[in-house]
Structure 1
Amino acid sequence: MIIKAVNGKYPEIPDDCYVAENATIVGEVTMGRLCSVWFNAVIRGDVHFIKMGDKVNVQDGAVIHATYKTSPTTIGNNVSIGHNAIVHGCTVQDNVLIGMGSIVMDDCVIESNSIIAAGAVVTKNTVVTSGSIYAGIPAKKVKCISKELLHGEIHRIAENYVFYSGWFKS
């Protein structure tokens, strides 16, 4: 794994987090408890800060970055960032699933209890309202999230990744 300081700012990673051997975390990155960063994922806090809550999983090949001096990235608790997703200079609140291969661009706000569908592109300044599912290019609201999806997908995936990371910590 590559974990290094940039401009005197070093990532803060609690001991109970899992970081894969070929993941990269640099600069001003603060991770909460029970997070996991998987193979080939990159979290680059070089141009602005990145703050992650508890139980965030950054799956294989995902990239988290920010925009110099203007747009940090803030991620809440219980968030899953799917394989090959890009999360850039935005705010992601609690209990969110960012689908595989999706892109969330600068100054977006993904409110709590929402899903960004696989392959969606959430364009600059979009606000995804709480309880929504957004899909497409550009991403638009396609429906409201059900309690079954909230618990069956968002919570299940976040909990599963805490469980999976245990396999790799020993």
Structure 2
Amino acid sequence: MIKKVFSFIRARLRKVILEEIWLEDYISRGMKIGKNCSIQPRCIFDYSHCNLITIGNDVTIAPQAYLLAHDASTKRDLGYTKIGRIDIKDNVFIGARALIMPGVTVGENSIVAAGSVVTKNVRPNTVVAGNPAKEIISKEEYINNNRELLKSYPKFSYDYSNASDKLTEEMKIEMRKLLKDTKGYMV
């Protein structure tokens, strides 16, 4: 139990201290980050061109997402590297390990699915997924679909999270059992 608490505290301190210092370095080099953003651990921003990256307000970027403002595929043959701005508008969610390429704008209220490679602009209020990312559904339809699923799928409180100090072995067993053949939701 002590090991678990220590790991939790260490992870939180690393996020609060190291991540903020890390982001401050990008900001000092010209990257713009809006208010109320949640940028998860191990996200990678193009350090050499971070001044070309703008992140709006209320944006969530999941772990290991990559925002790349340059593309060196032309360097050897042409002697030049392609560069382009990345503009993440307000209220955007970027999933884990998504890759945003140079010259891309992700429109307001959009969702970029985990693992997607975004090479073209994302329209506002849409969900994109894949490699290359393609529009798959409107955000409104996506939220409405999940609202319906929420009525019948298992729901769990924060206490069921490993980040909670209330998670018991019995709760873990219960959660695994309830999620055996379905998905669920956590507050």
The answer to whether the superposition gives a TM-score over 0.5 is: yes
Q: CA deviation at 1:64?
A: 2.0
Matched, 1:145 2:139: yes
Q: Which has the larger radius of gyration?
A: 2
Deviations 1:31-90 (A, max 9, x none): xxxxxxxxxxxxxx3xxx210110111101111226549x70001000000011112331
Matched, 1:84 2:83: no
Mapped to 1, the partners of 2:46 and 2:117 lie a distance apart of 16
Mapped to 2, the partners of 1:105 and 1:131 lie a distance apart of 20
In structure 1, the gaps of 5 or more residues are: 1-17, 31-44, 153-170
Partner of 2:81: none
Partner of 2:53: 73
Higher relative contact order at CA 8 Å, sep ≥6: structure 1 or structure 2?
A: 1
Give the length in aligned residue pairs. 116
Matched, 1:132 2:132: no
Asked whether the 8 Å contact 1:66–1:72 carries over to 2, the reply is no
Higher relative helix content: 2
Partner of 1:51: 32
Mapped to 2, the partners of 1:91 and 1:103 lie a distance apart of 13
Q: Counterpart of 2:111 in structure 1: which amino acid? A: I
Mapped to 1, the partners of 2:25 and 2:39 lie a distance apart of 17
Partner of 1:36: none
Mapped to 2, the partners of 1:60 and 1:28 lie a distance apart of 15
Q: CA deviation at 1:118?
A: 0.5
Q: Counterpart of 2:105 in structure 1: which amino acid? A: V
Mapped to 1, the partners of 2:140 and 2:99 lie a distance apart of 23
Mapped to 2, the partners of 1:66 and 1:60 lie a distance apart of 16
Partner of 1:113: 109
Mapped to 2, the partners of 1:51 and 1:148 lie a distance apart of 29
Counterpart of 1:25 (choices 23, 26, 38) is 23
Q: Counterpart of 1:117 in structure 2: which amino acid? A: A
Asked whether the 8 Å contact 1:67–1:88 carries over to 2, the reply is no
Q: Counterpart of 1:129 in structure 2: which amino acid? A: R
Q: Counterpart of 1:109 in structure 2: which amino acid? A: T
In structure 2, the gaps of 5 or more residues are: 1-13, 70-85, 147-187
- Give the 3 Å change call, closer, same or farther, for CA 135–28 of structure 1 in structure 2: closer
- Give the 3 Å change call, closer, same or farther, for CA 107–97 of structure 1 in structure 2: same
Mapped to 2, the partners of 1:54 and 1:147 lie a distance apart of 27
TM-score, reference length from structure 2:
0.54
Identity of aligned residues (%): 27
Secondary structure in 2 matching 1:100? coil
Q: CA deviation at 1:20?
A: 2.5
